[in-house]
Amino acid sequence: MAKIFKHRTDVAYFDYKDFKTLQRYVDQYGRIETRKKTGLTESQQRHLAVAIKRARHIGLLPFVAMA
C-alpha cells in the first residue's frame, strides 16, 4: 500500500485550523486514512484524529464528502 509520506513525519502537533495539512490525511470521501497509509506513530495518529474531528465541527473539513 502506498504511503502518503515516504518517511515518518516528525510533526509533533496537528492544528485543527490548518485544514490544508489535515486534508492530506483524509481520502476522497473525507474519511481519516489508516496508520498503514499515513505512516504516523500511534500517538501522532491519535492527535491527528482529534484535529480532524475538530476541523469537521467548525466546518473546515467535511464529515462526508461527495455524498
Partner 1 sequence: MNEYEIAILFDPGLEVDMDQATKKVEKILTDNGGKITNTDNWGKKKLAYTIKKHDSAVYVFYTVSIPGESVRRIESILNITDEVIRFLIVRPDLKAIAKAEAEKTRKAEQAAKRGDRDDREDDEK
Would you tell me which residues interact with partner 1 (CB under 8 A)?
Answer: 5, 10-13, 16-17, 47, 54, 56-65
Residues 6+ apart with CB under 8 A from 8: 39, 40, 41
C-alpha cell, 57 = 465541527
CA distance 15 to 65: 21
Our CB check for partner 1 shows the closer of 42 and 59 to be 59
C-alpha cell, 24 = 492530506
Our CB check for partner 1 shows the closer of 31 and 57 to be 57
Q: How far is the CB of 36 from partner 1 (least distance, A)?
A: 19
Q: How far is the CB of 42 from partner 1 (least distance, A)?
A: 15
